Amino acid sequence: MSEEIKTNAAPAAAPAAAARPERPARPFAKKRFESRRKVCKVCAEKIDNVDYKNFQFVKSFTMESGKILSRRITGTCAKHQRQITKAIKRDRNLAILPYSLPKK
Ligand SMILES: [Zn+2]
């Protein structure tokens, strides 16, 4: 008796799974964005130390308003982000870069 139930139960489960119609995972799914690898600009240019005197380069890591851009946005590595922030703050103190600029 118990053996009969076992044999019945096993085949019954298999067709149920097979009967389910195959359907594409996401018919209307589109690629929302192309993933682009961010590279640290400082590493790419092989600058071993970020210099505050190279303010044109340092300035490229600030917003128009004078804010420091985050690592998440620029893709710099942690080590160089630390050097950049230090350089920006030094430049601000020397009045090379602005602390802030008014919004338009
Ligand atoms: Zn780097």
- Note the pLDDT tens digit of each residue in 56-102: 999 999 999 999 999 999 999 999 999 999 999 999 999 999 999 88
Q: Which residue has the tokens 């630390």?
A: 82
Q: How far is the CA of 28 from the centre of ligand 1 (A)?
A: 39
pLDDT of residue 64: 92
CATH number at residue 62: 4.10.640.10
Contacts of 53 (CB under 8 A, 6+ apart): none
Alpha carbon of 95 to ligand 1 centroid (Å): 26
Q: Residue 86 sits in which domain range?
A: 42-93
Please check whether residue 73 lies inside any domain of the structure.
yes
Confidence (pLDDT) at 21: 66
- Residue 25 covered by a domain: no
Q: Is 62 inside any structural domain?
A: yes
Q: Judge whether residue 25 has pLDDT over 80.
A: no
Q: Is residue 76 part of a domain?
A: yes
54 in a structural domain: yes
Residue 77 lies in a domain: yes
**Residue 79 forms part of a structural domain:** yes
Q: Which residue has the higher pLDDT, 84 or 11?
A: 84
What gap in Å lies between CA 104 and CA 98, rounded to an integer?
A: 15
* pLDDT of amino acid 22: 72
Ligand 1 centre from 43 Cα, in Å?
Answer: 4
Of 40, 58, 61, 60, nearest in space to 50 by CA: 58
Q: What's the pLDDT score for residue 26?
A: 67
Q: Which of 84, 70, 82 is nearest to 38 (CA)?
A: 70
State the total domains in the chain: 1
The sign of the dihedral angle between the CA atoms of 60, 66, 68, 73 is negative
